Amino acid sequence: MEELGLALEVELFMEKDEWSKVKEFVKTNIGESAHTNWIQPIELEEIKGSVAKFKVPTRFIGTWVHRNYGDHIIQGFKNQKMSINRLEFITSSDRKSVQKNGPDKSISIQSDQRSKERQLDLPSSPLDARFTFDKFVVGKPNELAHAAAKRVSEGGKVTFNPLFLYGGVGLGKTHLMHSIAWSTKEKNKKARILYLSAEQFMYRFVQALRFKDMHAFKKLFRSVDVLMVDDVQFIAGKDSTQDEFFHTFNALIEQGKQIVISADRAPGEIDGLEERIKSRLAWGLVVDVHPTDYELRLGILQAKAEIQMELNRDVKIDEGILEYLAHKISSNVRVLEGALTRLFAFASLVGKEINIDLVQECLSDILRTSERKVTIEEIIRKVAEHYNLRMTDLISARRARVVARPRQIAMFLSKSLTSKSLPEIGRKFGGRDHTTVIHAVKKIEELKLVDVQVADEVEILRRTLEA
């Protein structure tokens, strides 16, 4: 018995030594920060045949490691000449459950073909349970995007594919994409939905190249029912990734599968993106998620305040506070929600009601940084809308009067309403020289004095941008 116990101890020691080498391999692939946060907390318990079993502090950590780093761990074992093709992650609560109820409910990942085709093994980013359609506040700036997303989530034949959502930070693009995923899953449990960022797509592609596993990569990405890629502008300038994305896009479209894309700009305005991809992305429905207006911001605040008041029943909020916040914080919804959360947390901790004094004390930094700051991109968009042009027209080389005059007005407003230098403004307008900007500014200043129509239009645009 002693000899058997000693043999087991020696075997376990050797296994843990191999695991140390595997961890080093994983660290080189995912980086030190991710390794410290996710790999270090897990502990190798035993190896039985082709199964490696790990102890994890929580099921969340086990799930995350399984979904994001399972392939790396298996490859690490293979590098050590160990034929591991399944990983199991067990918590102490799982162990107690097994003792009580019998069946093992641990999280596992298998490398066999059948498991690769299961929903669980899709390298999808986690979906936020808060981001559903019923929690999305609809207003004029986002009503088209919301309606399009709802239509896509209903399944069946959609006349627009892909759905391309674009707009600034914190306007609800990610919320809508998560909502599509949740709603689709609810209607069809077997639907294979893959949601990830463009960065993750590139990362998976690079890993497939590195480990000479392009066949599995192609099969995985081209076997989904719904592909959703966030922040597609990330792949701009990355030729090989763009090439694979192009072929994946075409393969899914040919199969009649739905594609949903988001970006911070319209397809035609993303520098470094191949023309063929711009063309494909513009095939379907391109929807601009506009910046929130006062009414929408107030509606969002009212919805979020109801939730906060349920959680903090002892906190009272004065009338007019939500209106004040909706007026003062116009940057994006995330900042708005964060400000409200901070207010309720502060009021709850110090035992005060939320009044104007508390708001100014607690949110002084947000209120200071949220002072209206007009961007050149916003100026270009507003001027283009005013003159019924495309944004690309204003930054193009076109010299027709119908384009040239609005372009000069946009340059004039950029100089007047922003702190950007002349070269910076020139770069935003298609890489023009600073002398071109100087000429445009002088020209509009002169026209304002002699042409009432130009003066009125400039003033209208200025008020619109400063509102």
Residue ranges of domains in the chain, CATH in brackets:
2-115 (3.30.300.180), 133-288 (3.40.50.300), 294-369 (1.10.8.60), 376-466 (1.10.1750.10)
Give the distance, in angstroms, between the CA of residue 399 and the centroid of all CA atoms in the same chain.
Answer: 37
Q: Give the pLDDT of residue 148.
A: 93
Residue 132 near residue 183 (C-beta atoms within 8 A): yes
What per-residue confidence (pLDDT) applies to 175? 92
CA dist., res. 408 & res. 441, Å (int): 7
75 Cβ partners below 8 Å, 6+ apart? Answer: 25, 211
Q: Which residue has tokens 């298996």?
A: 74
Task: Give all strands (DSSP E) within 96-140, no chain letters.
Answer: 107-110
Q: Token digits for 76?
A: 């690490």
Q: Which residues, at least 6 apart from 21, have a Cβ–Cβ distance to it below 8 Å?
A: 76, 79, 80
Query: Using N-to-C axis directions, what is the helix angle for 452-466 and 434-450, rounded to 10°?
Result: 120
Q: CA separation (Å) from 80 to 30, 85, 220? A: 18, 13, 26
Peptide bond into 57 cis (omega under 30): no
Rounded distance between C-alpha atoms, residue 415 and residue 403, angstroms = 19
Instruction: Say if pTM beats, i.e. exceeds, 0.75.
Output: no
Bridge-based pairing of strands 51-55 and 43-48 is: antiparallel
3-state DSSP call for residue 130?
Answer: coil
Mapping DSSP to helix (H, G, I), strand (E, B) and coil, where does residue 187 land? Answer: helix
Give the whole-angstrom CA distance, residue 330 versus residue 252: 38
Residue 70: Cβ within 10 Å count: 21
Name residue, tokens 């080389």: 397
Question: Distance from first CA to last CA of the chain, Å, rounded?
Answer: 83
Q: Alpha-carbon torsion 57, 63, 67, 68, what sign?
A: negative
DSSP helix/strand/coil, 259: strand
Confidence (pLDDT) at 372: 57
pLDDT tens for the chain, 467 residues long, are 444 343 444 344 456 678 888 888 888 878 777 777 788 888 888 888 888 888 887 777 787 788 878 888 888 888 888 888 888 888 765 555 444 444 444 454 444 433 333 333 456 677 888 889 988 989 888 899 999 999 998 877 767 889 999 988 888 899 999 999 999 988 888 888 889 888 888 888 888 888 777 888 888 888 888 999 998 988 888 888 899 899 989 989 888 899 999 998 888 888 888 899 999 888 889 998 887 888 888 898 998 888 888 888 888 888 888 988 888 887 778 888 888 988 988 888 888 888 888 888 888 887 776 665 678 888 998 899 989 988 888 888 888 888 999 999 999 998 888 878 888 899 889 888 888 999 999 999 889 888 888 888 888 888 778 66
Output the 3-class SS for 290-349. Answer: CCCCHHHHHHHHHHHHHHHHHHCCCCCECCCHHHHHHHHCCCCHHHHHHHHHHHHHHHHH
pLDDT at 147: 93
